Structure 1
């Protein structure tokens, strides 16, 4: 279930500094408009065969409607850790409850403004049931299939950068 405050004027986030230390609580739309750093959690979802879940965002979402992403993401709420936010996004957007593993974070310059982007991975064993208000379509792809297909899709800009960093990580 999606929170009634998703991407709305009332959604609150923690404004953070360049060291990811909390400064104050602000409205997300103010953080975006003013270019204040805040936190976003992203999750690359894989299945037991190693395939990647790719989603197309619904036409009604406020940012990047109709674009594709090899991860899901959402703002970290005040008091939440990156991992807690990542787990919440899995439940809200995909209808699954799965452990998430925090991999890394970086300051993403962002297509709508800068933010700290915490990247996670989850191996999904249950069927996904996407929230149609958030996700219009989902499909599982091998990395090779994604590499062949994705150049023809409009991608969420920040998701592409985060996914490339995910693929290059050393763990």
Structure 2
């Protein structure tokens, strides 16, 4: 057996594959179970917005190529996902949720970007929340850098941190909680 095919569960790459198809009115699942018990699955919704499926979900390695399929849709879910709403290990979208979340509007992940971004390492256009944050306007962080910062250690024009409390920063952040 070909060495590359053994790595993906015993199927010969670039050979015809017998998928299990589950076609329903809302969309289609195609699945393949490898001999080692691992699985490949892909869902594509019947509804489309332009040329993009409304929902595209991918799981596992494609038996024909031995590679993961990039999920692309209005809502995309997979190891790599791109869509208006993207959820995956690497997600890119208007709203991105993942280990690496590159969001235009909202990024939520270990490393994230977006106008609003939440994560461990954050670059935010307007507001960032996380451990290490570079915020365009405001940041709440352990280590933060922005014009307005609430942090354990902060750099910026108006900073509230362990070293000092800038009165403008104090007023700015207290206004968020109605005080």
TM bucket normalised to smaller = under 0.3
TM-score normalised by the chain length of structure 1: 0.22
If each structure's helix is expressed as a fraction of its own residues, which one has the higher value? Answer: 1
TM-score normalised by the chain length of structure 2: 0.21
Structure number with greater CO (CA < 8 Å, separation at least 6) is 1
**Highest Rg: 1 or 2?**
2
If each structure's strand is expressed as a fraction of its own residues, which one has the higher value? Answer: 2
